[in-house]
Amino acid sequence: MRTILFILRKEFLQIKRNKAMLPIIFIMPFIQLIILVHAATFEMKHIRLHVIDKDMSSVSRELISKFSGSPFYDITSYSFSDKEGEEDLRSNKADIVLVIPEHFEKKLRKENSCEVQLIINSINAASAGLINAYTSSILLDYNVNLVAKWSVMNSSVQASTIETTYSYWYNPELNYKNYMVPGILVLLVTIIGMVLSSLNVVREKEIGTIEQINITPIRKYQFIIGKLVPFWIIAMFELAFGLTIGKLLFGIPIIGNVALLFLFASVYLLVILSIGLLISTLNNTQQQAMFITWFFMMIFIMMSGLFTPVESMPEWAQKINIINPVAYFIKTMRMVLLKGSGFGDISGLFASICTYAVIMISFATWRYRKVS
C-alpha cells in the first residue's frame, strides 16, 4: 500500500509539472460544455421562408401570418415568381419556398379544397425532415381552424372541434439542452480519461523514466493502480463539476440518485482508463498514442447515441455497439438524470460495464511488460 501511495504522489507531481496537461484538465471541459450544449442541437429556430403568394387574398394572408407569427420561421422574401423562389433555394438564401396558387380562396370556398406547394432544400435530410414536419403541422392547424370558422359562419349550430392536448414525460418543455447536457458530460469525462491515460505510459518512454521504473521492485498491479487512480480522481471531479455547471447554467433536472450515477461512473472510468492505458503500452510516442486514441474516440462517440438514436442505426451497427462503453454511460446518464431510474432499471447496463472493466483492466495489465 505504501508503494502505491508513493506512485500516486509521483503521478500527481508529474501532472502538476506538465503545463500542456493542465489546460486539458481544467480549461477544455468548461469550454466544451458551454459551447457544445448550445451548438450541438437539432432544433430549427430560424427557418428561412420564401413566400410566393399568387392569390393575394385575405385567406392567403391569414395563412402567411401563421408562419410569420411562429418563432421557428423567418420570412426572408415575398415574390410572385416560381423562378425567384428557386433561385433563393439555389443560392442558399431560403430553406423552404411556400407557393400559394391563384384562386386559392375561391377554390376553398367553392370546392372545399385547394393545394399549396412546398419546395424544401433537402441537402441536409435531417433538417429537411424537421422543416417538413413543422410546416405540415402549421398547415394542418390552419386547416382545422379554417374549417371550424367557416362551419360557424355557414350554420346556425355551433360547430364542435376535437382538441388534442399533449403530455411529454421526462422532458415536458422539450428543452433540447436537457437531452444534450448528460451526453456532453459523458463526452467530457471520456476525453479526459482516455486521452490523459493514453499519453501517460508513453510519456514515460519518451523521457526515459520507464527504464528506471522497470528496474525497481514495483509490481505490475501496483504500477497499473498508480497510473489509473490519479486520472480516475480527476475525471470524477470533472463529472461533479460538469453536473454543477449543468444545473446552475442550464437548469438540467437531476431527478434520480446522484450517488447511483457516480457508482456507474466509477466503473465506467475504469474501462476508459484501461483502454487508454492499453493504447499507451502499445505505442512508443505520444503522437502515435494520440492518433490511435482519437480513432477509437470518434467511433465510440458517433455510435454512442449522443447525436442520433442508437435505435435508428442499422441492425449490424447496433450489434457492434455492444462493445461501445460510451453508449452504456450516455444511456445511464439520461435515464438517471431525466427519468429518475433506480438501480433495478440500469442493473443490466451496470453488469455489462462491470464485465467490460474486468476484461479491459486484465488486458491492460497483461499487455504491460515490466522489462528493462
Q: Do 21 and 93 have their domain in common? A: no
- Predicted pLDDT of residue 37: 78
- Predicted pLDDT of residue 231: 85
CA 99 to chain centre: 35
How far apart are alpha carbons 80 and 95 in whole angstroms?
18
The answer as to whether 200 is a domain residue is: yes
Inform me whether the pLDDT recorded for 372 exceeds 50: no
- Predicted pLDDT of residue 349: 93
Radius of gyration over every alpha carbon of the chain, rounded to an integer in angstroms = 28
- Model pLDDT for residues 189-199, shown as the tens digit of each residue: 998 888 888 87
Q: Do 30 and 96 have their domain in common? A: no
Q: Do 28 and 54 have their domain in common? A: no
* Structural contact between residues 70 and 37, judged by C-beta atoms closer than 8 angstroms: no
In sequence order, what DSSP letters do the residues of 224-269 get, joined into one string?
A: HHHHHHHHHHHHHHHHHHHHHHHHHHS-----S-HHHHHHHHHHHH
Q: Which of the pair, 202 or 353, is modelled with greater confidence?
A: 353
Q: Do 124 and 107 have their domain in common? A: yes
- Predicted pLDDT of residue 153: 60
Q: Do 363 and 225 have their domain in common? A: yes
Q: Do 114 and 253 have their domain in common? A: no
Q: Which of 49, 83, 296, 69 is nearest to 193 (CA)?
A: 296
Q: Do 233 and 286 have their domain in common? A: yes
Q: Do 64 and 101 have their domain in common? A: yes
Q: Which of the pair, 213 or 231, is modelled with greater confidence?
A: 231
The answer as to whether 86 is a domain residue is: yes
- Predicted pLDDT of residue 151: 63
Query: Which has the minimum average pLDDT: 90-94, 137-141, 304-308?
Result: 304-308
Q: Which of 153, 184, 212 is the last residue of a domain?
A: 153
Query: Which has the minimum average pLDDT: 11-15, 147-151, 159-163, 184-188?
Result: 159-163
Give residue 121's domain range: 47-153
0.75 exceeded by the pTM?
yes
Domain count of the chain?
Answer: 2
Q: Which of 290, 287, 239 is nearest to 263 (CA)?
A: 239
Give the DSSP H or E segment for 49.
strand 47-53
Give the DSSP H or E segment for 98.
strand 96-100
Number of Cβ within 10 Å of residue 350's Cβ equals: 18
- Predicted pLDDT of residue 333: 93
Q: Which of the pair, 349 or 20, is modelled with greater confidence?
A: 349
Query: Which has the minimum average pLDDT: 62-66, 96-100, 203-207, 271-275?
Result: 203-207
The answer as to whether 203 is a domain residue is: yes
Q: Do 243 and 349 have their domain in common? A: yes
Q: Do 237 and 99 have their domain in common? A: no
Number of Cβ within 10 Å of residue 296's Cβ equals: 16
How far apart are alpha carbons 187 and 26 in whole angstroms?
15
**The residue to which cell 355551433 is assigned:** 158
Average pLDDT over residues 356-362: 91
Average pLDDT over residues 55-67: 88
Q: Do 51 and 34 have their domain in common? A: no
